[in-house]
Structure 1
Amino acid sequence: MMSGLAAALAEASSPSWSQRVRAGRGLASFADVPEAAEALMGLLLDIEDTAVTRQTAEALARVGTVAALRLIALAVAEADDNQVDWLQTGVHDALAGTDSVPDVAAVCGQLARDPEEAVRRGAAEITAWTDDTRR
């Protein structure tokens, strides 16, 4: 299991956007591991390719843990408007998928009580996105 983590961490800094996308998908289930969380934040806020941002956000939303959604919330709080659009698209992709997706809104409700203001702000924005997909 850790060898998968090590390989994904190595791909996270690749110059190839497709390898960074693969890293985002591979690291999503390790969102609670500090090294993975740091790499995931870099992928969520990737300045070179919006596909990396979008697909990493989708992978994290599909995992749906507090740790995974906390990273998306932090990224939302730090992102520029363009990045926020792609983060939102990634979350929508996860929610629109045919697979069973965790209750993102419920997890964001937990994050609304996070001690870090940026997390609370980002979680509120993600909650609004989930409201949009329910209509």
Structure 2
Amino acid sequence: MTSGLEAALAQASSLSWSQRVHAGRDLASFAAVPEAATALVGLLLDVEDTAVTRRTAEALTSVGTVAAVRLIALAVAEADDHQADWLQTGVHDALVELDGVLDVAAICGQLARDPEEAVRRGAAEIAAWVNGTKG
């Protein structure tokens, strides 16, 4: 692992919400790395602070890879209603900044065929959010 990845992984378990927000941003580009993916899902489902959930979802959406959106889909499938609202807000924040609605929609279409049912369910929810942001 690179030292940047190791540092971000250490921040992901910090007691400080701001350190966890930084970890989410720093780890987003490593979404395909198993250790980072596990930490990112934990940050997306952070029970201590909604800013961590929101900003991690925003960072992963901004990365815009299949691996990144897949992690959001996994979190959406596990999230309670409150967490899901903040996940949606983070996705929306990134889409407004990047005008990346079509790319995320296309990725959700790919994830609709994922072998894991939770990913398919989460991707369908994200696709509904994305379609709601077009208008």
After superposition, the C-alpha distances for 1:83-103 in whole angstroms (9 at most, x for unaligned) are 000000000000001x46471
- Distance in structure 1 (CA, Å) of the matches to 2:11 and 2:35: 13
The residue that corresponds to 2:109 in the other structure is 109
- Distance in structure 2 (CA, Å) of the matches to 1:3 and 1:83: 31
- Cα-Cα RMSD: 1.2
- Distance in structure 2 (CA, Å) of the matches to 1:106 and 1:2: 31
- Distance in structure 1 (CA, Å) of the matches to 2:85 and 2:113: 24
Which blocks of at least 5 consecutive residues in structure 2 are unaligned?
none
Amino acid at match of 1:63: V
Amino acid at match of 1:134: K
What is the TM-score with the length of structure 2 in the denominator?
A: 0.96
After superposition, the C-alpha distances for 1:41-87 in whole angstroms (9 at most, x for unaligned) are 11000000000000000000000111100000000000000000000
Aligned-partner SS, 1:48 = coil
The residue that corresponds to 2:85 in the other structure is 85
Q: CA deviation at 1:116?
A: 0.6
Which blocks of at least 5 consecutive residues in structure 1 are unaligned?
none
What is the TM-score with the length of structure 1 in the denominator?
A: 0.96
Aligned-pair identity (%): 78
